[in-house]
Amino acid sequence: MEALNMPRLRHVLTRRLVLSGLMLGAAVTAPAYAMDAFEAVKGPLDYIGSVEFFPEAGALSAGWTVRIAEDDLDEISFALSSAFGTASVAGADVVDVTTELDERFGGAVRTYRIDLAPSVNGADRIVKFAYGGPLFPEELPLPINTLDSDKIELTVDSFWFPFDARFDSDLTARVQVRLAGEWSAVGVGSVVSTPKGFHFVQAEPALDIAFSLLSNSEVVKADDYVIHDARSEPGTKLEELTGALEFCTAYLNGLAGPAGPLPQASIIVTDRPEGGYSRGTLIALTDIEDDDEEYLLQFICHELAHYWSKANAGGPENWINEGLADYLANMGVRNALGETVFDARMARYAEQIEGHDLPPIWAAELTERPPYLIMYRAAPVALQHLEERMGRATFTAFMQRIMTDRVRTTPALLALLEEMAGAEIRTWFETRLAD
């Protein structure tokens, strides 16, 4: 296991996931799934799977039918954990398979390069995988991935399912999960209990198949959210958490008006020291006992606000996703905790960017995704300055229009700004972004 370079693996994947917008994906939790609606939104890769978990053994057994929509591919490579040995790969469209341990992941991952039969009249090609065994033969230094009798929480960096090795294809999925015992389930899409487990449907194209299964959690249900508290001492800071969820939902729904309301959020709270994440309104929180009210409020509002920030996450427009979500959250903090707390927060942001040699927030010629300090610090500060210039009432109306119109690009945002506040403010803000 010494060759398994987890930080690097995490870096590669997290970067890819963020780039692809997975972490910002919408999570519309439907009470049940409609097959017709699902067929209409199939991703470039569509997974139909049957997975049985054996938590005591840390093992699983899986079968997948992967439908490949891209009709011009001659070959496709999938990456799967090498802990399963060599998977069986089959299907009428599979001409040849070569498999090897992937050097990029120090032997933890096996790559399957599949030569595909040509697509007939643009028809989908199908590849089937079958494999099984313990996923984590040894204790892994990964904070998130677990497959034990308390919790099953698998993310893409465990390679528990065959993952398109280009690391940038969106997928949709339907997964029949079987496992024994009493479990509760959380997913990005819809989750339906079945006699032997759960059926997950992920109809919104995303990079990962994301769900969590918990056997020991305390569940708190409300109209706007469900909290799965999986900590060894559940309940700590729960009041602050429910307070933040209730406040942020009400505040953001009020701000969004016709663009709301938010779908019901699913929150998982764990003890682990790191590895929090959010995928749409599925939010995993870690170590919240040390978080103060402002932090928790801002964090929850930020994650929920992503429901409306839908720019292309792979490039320069990602300043909209993060900057907008973050500033909407800061407006929430101001509303809940007052001007002094808000002012101090924004002053900290300004301080953090001072003295750094940063690229512009946005300019037409930019092609790179902005760095952290731009997205999470400089962009919110620019929006604060815009709010000061426009006045709060007009700025709030502007935010609502961004949400209702689902503004996805900076030119569209600037055009809307001009429409609502005039050419002079537009020019000023465009210059401010390019500064």
Q: How far apart are CA 162 and CA 178, in angstroms?
A: 19
Q: How far apart are CA 371 and CA 115, in angstroms?
A: 38
Q: Which is nearer to Zn ion, 207 or 325 (CB)?
A: 325
Three-class SS of 228-274? EECCCCCCCCHHHHHHHHHHHHHHHHHHHHHHCCCCCEEEEEECCCC
Q: Which is nearer to Zn ion, 158 or 410 (CB)?
A: 410
3-state helix, strand, coil in the chain (%, to 5): 40, 25, 35
Residues found near Zn ion in the complex (CB under 5 A): 322, 325
Least Cβ distance, residue 231 to Zn ion (angstroms): 24
Q: Which is nearer to Zn ion, 55 or 323 (CB)?
A: 323
Q: Which is nearer to Zn ion, 214 or 325 (CB)?
A: 325
Least Cβ distance, residue 66 to Zn ion (angstroms): 30
Give the bridge partners for 1, in sequence order.
none
Centre a 10 Å sphere on the Cβ of residue 391 and count the other Cβ atoms it contains.
11
For residues 129 and 78, the answer to whether their CB atoms sit within 8 Å is yes
Least Cβ distance, residue 304 to Zn ion (angstroms): 10
Buried b (16+ CB within 10 A) or exposed e, 160-192: bbbbbbebebbbbbbbbbbbeeebbbbbbbbbe
For residues 161 and 80, the answer to whether their CB atoms sit within 8 Å is yes
Q: How far apart are CA 162 and CA 245, in angstroms?
A: 35
Least Cβ distance, residue 339 to Zn ion (angstroms): 24
Least Cβ distance, residue 176 to Zn ion (angstroms): 32
Three-class SS of 343-367? HHHHHHHHHHHCCCCCCCCCCCCCC
Bridging pattern class, strands 45-54 and 88-90: unpaired
Least Cβ distance, residue 242 to Zn ion (angstroms): 21
Bridging pattern class, strands 211-214 and 171-178: unpaired
Q: Which is nearer to Zn ion, 108 or 300 (CB)?
A: 300
Least Cβ distance, residue 327 to Zn ion (angstroms): 11
Q: Which is nearer to Zn ion, 189 or 380 (CB)?
A: 380
Least Cβ distance, residue 376 to Zn ion (angstroms): 8
- Distances in Å between the Cα of 212 and the Cα atoms of 163, 198, 232, 379 are 18, 11, 17, 33
For residues 280 and 307, the answer to whether their CB atoms sit within 8 Å is yes
Least Cβ distance, residue 288 to Zn ion (angstroms): 17
Least Cβ distance, residue 302 to Zn ion (angstroms): 6
Q: Which is nearer to Zn ion, 325 or 403 (CB)?
A: 325
Q: Which is nearer to Zn ion, 240 or 322 (CB)?
A: 322
Please measure the distance between the N-terminal and C-terminal CA atoms of the chain and give it in whole angstroms.
48
Q: Which is nearer to Zn ion, 94 or 301 (CB)?
A: 301
Least Cβ distance, residue 247 to Zn ion (angstroms): 18
Q: What secondary structure does DSSP assign to 60-90, as a single string?
A: EEEEEEEEE--TT-SEEEEEEEGGG-S-EEE
- Residue given tokens 């409609």 in the structure block: 34
Q: How far apart are CA 401 and CA 406, in angstroms?
A: 8
Q: Which is nearer to Zn ion, 160 or 251 (CB)?
A: 251
Q: Which is nearer to Zn ion, 62 or 403 (CB)?
A: 403
Residue 269 CB partners (closer than 8 Å, separation 6+): 227, 228, 229, 230, 231, 234, 238, 241, 284, 285, 286, 288
Q: How far apart are CA 249 and CA 100, in angstroms?
A: 48
